[in-house]
Amino acid sequence: MSEMIAVSDLKKHFMLHRHRPGFIGAIRNLITRERRVIRAVDGVSFTIEQGEFVGYLGPNGAGKSTTIKMLTGLLVPTSGGLQVNGRVPWRERQKHVREIGAVFGQRTTLWWDLPVIDSLELLMHIYHIPADRFRQNLQEFRGLLELDPFLSTPVRALSLGERMRADLCAALLHDPTLIFLDEPTIGLDVVAKERIRQFIRHINIHHGTTILLTTHDISDVEKLCNRVMIIDRGHLLYDGALEKLHERFGGKRQLIVDFGETYGEVHVDGAHVTERVGTRVTYHFERGTVTASELIGRLSNRFRIRDLEVREPDIEDTIRRIYEEQLLARE
């Protein structure tokens, strides 16, 4: 695989002027102006290979959107190196945008008062898509996204789920090699979310499209991404598999045991009892202290077990804990 995105020590700083209120403050503003530097992205480095599906995570204000705007060519970095598909986005903007796509959950690229099909045909001319290629892509996406019921409907009359499906179609008609997805399932119901996820997964696998996904819906990341990057306060804190992040910071696991009979004392080394209802006992244990198989072995040597279940901590709780307790920032 070849590199699709190469980022080296990327920085984007904004200068803000302090505004003093009131009449005296206005005079002071004219004479002297206090400035404050906002380091939105501060020394980020990473590479993304062609065909990868990467989740880009972080709390609000972490620097995700600023990074995406530099990758798309909308912002010029303060310093650092950045290439997308061998190009510097803001220097070769016209060629660059012909090879990328973008979908933003809160905005649409379609014309508000036009039927969906008219917007798609306009995009064919804007991107100079050959007619046969346009028909082939549209036919494929109509089936995958179930567009036919609303192709002739004005965009303003679409539901959120319908608009998102139309926006995805619009972003991919010109066969981009890279697509940026910002909250593509925000506000959608369970059925609509799953339809969108299946389509995105299909595009990545069958078209080889490189995808960078920013989202607060961790289930999107779990079901779609092979790799995650976490940014906070402008710094990249983690780059790797979601599973390894979960292993490091997932906290306590649960072992739920249904005993074959009632026992007075069910304590076992390496775990502590958090709940007991009849013959069902719930244990909590630390991932790094003891394995589930060791714990099960200790219990089965002492008690008759009818059934058991190991439960992992919820990944969303793990990510929230990382943000709130700044666990990665401590390393």
Q: Is residue 238 part of a domain?
A: yes
Whether residue 80 is predicted with pLDDT greater than 90 in this model: the reply is yes
* Rounded Cα gap, residues 71 and 331, in angstroms: 28
Task: State residue 199's pLDDT score.
Answer: 94
Looking at the structure, tell me whether residues 226 and 285 fall in a common domain: no
Last residue of a domain, one of 223, 246, 269: 246
Contact 211, 56 (CB under 8 A): no
Looking at the structure, tell me whether residues 147 and 219 fall in a common domain: yes
Looking at the structure, tell me whether residues 258 and 231 fall in a common domain: no
Last residue of a domain, one of 202, 230, 246: 246
Q: Is residue 331 part of a domain?
A: no
Looking at the structure, tell me whether residues 231 and 270 fall in a common domain: no
* Rounded Cα gap, residues 285 and 290, in angstroms: 7
CA 107 to chain centre: 17
Give the residue numbers spanning the domain of 303: 252-312
Pairing mode, strands 280-286 and 252-259: antiparallel
Q: Is residue 325 part of a domain?
A: no
* Rounded Cα gap, residues 25 and 167, in angstroms: 47
Looking at the structure, tell me whether residues 185 and 308 fall in a common domain: no
Question: Nearest-CA neighbor of 208 among 47, 6, 49, 5?
Answer: 49
Pairing mode, strands 235-240 and 227-232: antiparallel
Average pLDDT estimate for 80-101 = 93
How is residue 50 written in tokens? 């062609």
How is residue 151 written in tokens? 């192709």
Looking at the structure, tell me whether residues 224 and 188 fall in a common domain: yes
Looking at the structure, tell me whether residues 168 and 297 fall in a common domain: no
Looking at the structure, tell me whether residues 183 and 215 fall in a common domain: yes
Contacts of residue 246, Cβ cutoff 8 Å, sequence gap at least 6: 312, 313, 315, 318
Of 23-27, 89-93, 310-314, minimum mean pLDDT range: 23-27
- List, in sequence order, the alpha helices (H) in the chain: 22-31, 64-72, 93-97, 116-126, 131-145, 160-172, 190-207, 218-224, 242-249, 292-302, 315-325
Whether residue 21 is predicted with pLDDT greater than 90 in this model: the reply is no
Q: What is the pLDDT of residues 56-69, one digit of tens each?
A: 988 888 899 999 99
Task: State residue 20's pLDDT score.
Answer: 65
**Rounded to 5 degrees, what angle do the CA atoms 260, 263, 269 make?**
100
Q: Is residue 173 part of a domain?
A: yes
Looking at the structure, tell me whether residues 306 and 200 fall in a common domain: no
How is residue 145 written in tokens? 């996204």
Residue type, 255: L
Task: State residue 121's pLDDT score.
Answer: 96
Q: Does the CA dihedral 203-205-206-211 come out positive or negative? A: positive
DSSP state of 1: -
CA atoms within 13 A of residue 196's CA, in its CB half-sphere: 28
Task: State residue 318's pLDDT score.
Answer: 73
Contact 44, 236 (CB under 8 A): yes
Helices 116-126 and 131-145 pack at an angle, to 10 degrees, of 140
Last residue of a domain, one of 203, 225, 246: 246
* Number of domains within the chain: 2
Looking at the structure, tell me whether residues 66 and 129 fall in a common domain: yes
Q: Please state, rounded to an integer, the average pLDDT across all residues of the chain.
A: 88
Which one has a higher pLDDT value, 164 or 61? 164
What CATH number should be reported for the domain holding residue 193? 3.40.50.300
CA atoms within 13 A of residue 144's CA, in its CB half-sphere: 20
